[in-house]
Amino acid sequence: MKTKHKLQHMLTLEELTAESLTELLELAKAVKQSPSDYQTALAGKKVALLFEKASTRTRISFEVGVVELGGYPVVLSGADMQIGRGEPLSDTIKVMSRYVDALMIRTFAHETVETLATHGTIPIINGLTDLHHPCQVLADLLTIEEHFGSRQGKILTYIGDGNNMAHSLLLGGALSGMEVRICSPDAYAPNEKIVAQAIEIAKATGGTIELFTDPVAAVKGAEVIYSDVFASMGQESESIERLNAFAGYQVNLSLLREAADEVIFLHCLPAHRGEEVTADVIDGTHSVVFDQAENRLHAQKALMIELLGK
């Protein structure tokens, strides 16, 4: 009998196997279809939600998700805590582990979530770091599966900065057996180590990983086109430089015509219309960005049930 994969944290999508990812997405579908069946899944559980970066979708979806599962969210700002005055993270998480049952954090350095997982005794959920955005990609994969019926073999093209979104899409797409294409200027290519990790995962799932610099070539036949802002939080000072570097990487109707007829457009939001994507694409018939945003709630509820549920 095969032992079920036990999930302890969600720091990156490498925490999952292809099988456990499928199980998690199936649970997300069930939660979405029959939310009342899970309204006591986190009864008596307290989940701390710590924000060192501004948030809309992560904040609302996690807080609502905890409540809908019967738990109690404790929303915190890093600026209001002692870590904002220099308390070691190891001390903070040792204390928090005695107060709450799990911690979701949205922060900058990926080392922060690794330190929390090392020194704490509760599940740590990465709500976003500069290196990975796993919860977003769980919602993305759920959205793709809803629209196409499966993830295996689908061609996903990400166009933009080789950032946390690109990294998590590489890993999630590889686990899904997808053909993942990352298209960015050479100077903004994704982390080589993460690309290599994704390639190894893809070997076992039948997926493929390719890097492109030409958007037209990258979207040929693609069923999913994904975009993100060219300058993320903390990169505002680079905005002009990045806009120049990414000239020609805008997702517009002309580029969309090079993709598959049934192509869908995804964006993690917030979006800058007229920069990385035109309004007629993100607000057009191929866009499913608001289905995608809603699925943050359902995917994260499934994740919390997996980590904390009875």
- The H-or-E segment that residue 224 falls in is strand 224-227
Answer whether residue 98 shows pLDDT above 80. Answer: yes
Specify the 3-state DSSP secondary structure of 237: helix
Residue 1 has pLDDT above 80, yes or no: no
Q: Considering the domain delimited by 9-132+295-308, tell me its CATH architecture.
A: 3-Layer(aba) Sandwich (3.40)
Residue 89 CA, chain-centre distance (Å), reads 24
Q: Under a CB-based contact definition with an 8 Å cutoff, are residues 47 and 56 in contact?
A: no
Look at residue 129 and tell me whether its pLDDT is greater than 70.
yes
Whether the bond between 123 and the residue before it is cis, its omega within 30 degrees of 0, is no
Catalytic residues: 106, 133, 136, 228, 268, 296
H or E segment to which residue 105 belongs: strand 102-106
Domain ranges of the chain: 9-132+295-308, 136-292
The two domains 9-132+295-308 and 136-292 share their CATH topology (first three levels equal)? yes
Looking at 2.40.10.340, 3.40.50.1370, 3.50.50.60, 3.40.50.300, the CATH number of the domain 136-292 comes to: 3.40.50.1370
Binding-site annotation: residue ranges for L-ornithine: 164, 228, 232-233
Q: What pLDDT sits at residue 3?
A: 47
pLDDT digits (tens, 9 = 90+) for 222-279: 999 999 999 876 677 778 899 999 999 999 999 999 999 999 999 999 999 999 999 9
- Per the annotation, binding residues for carbamoyl phosphate are 55-58, 82, 106, 133-136, 268-269, 296
What is the model's pLDDT at position 5? Answer: 63
Q: Closest Cα to residue 31, out of 71, 72, 68, 74?
A: 68
Annotated binding-site members: 55-58, 82, 106, 133-136, 164, 228, 232-233, 268-269, 296
Tokens standing for residue 127? 């709500």
